[in-house]
Amino acid sequence: MACQRPFPSLTGRGLAGSRVGGAGIGVWQPGLHQGFGVFGEPDTPSWFELHTRDYQASVGFYRNVFGWDTHVASDTPEFRYTTLRDGEDWLAGIMDASGFLPDGVSAVWSVYFGVEDTDATLAKIVDLGGSIVMAAEDTPYGRLATATDPTGAQFKLVAPNEAMPARDPSN
């Protein structure tokens, strides 16, 4: 992994770098600033996903660096996907993107923001100067879309749908 020198601050310590495939990663050791405290609720980060051409090496890297449990969700030529867990917590997914990631494009991490209504959120994004990269579509994993903010930063949205209903917060 190529990385910068760790940067200490009053709020914590951080490290940024890249690994095989070129995906940028950052590591945070909390100090006064603990990081984000809400995950998986509407309008908060809900999932993280790596698209990479170097699928096996990436799975091994994150498993070994962070001690995460890996679970193969699919291992077919059309769809290779592994989820990463820490105990009972689902943390992220790694997708083999060798079939669709354009040549010259580095591996990339994506953040999915959970929303209650993907289509309404896309309309608001456009109203506020953002753009739609991929229109909303129903999938077995929820109603997904990809957008950019006014500066071009790309992110994804996920909302419940019939195939993936909203979680009951009491459970």
Tell me the per-residue pLDDT of 126-153, one tens digit each, with 9 for 90 and over.
999 999 999 999 998 899 999 999 999 9
* 164 pLDDT more than 50: yes
pTM for the model = 0.79
Task: Please give the domain boundaries of the chain with CATH numbers for all domains.
Answer: 35-114 (3.10.180.10)
* 156 pLDDT more than 90: yes
Tell me the backbone φ, ψ of residue 39, rounded to 5 degrees: -145, 135
Pairing of strands 44-52, 89-96: parallel
Tell me the per-residue pLDDT of 56-111, one tens digit each, with 9 for 90 and over.
999 998 898 888 899 999 999 889 999 998 888 788 999 999 998 888 888 888 99
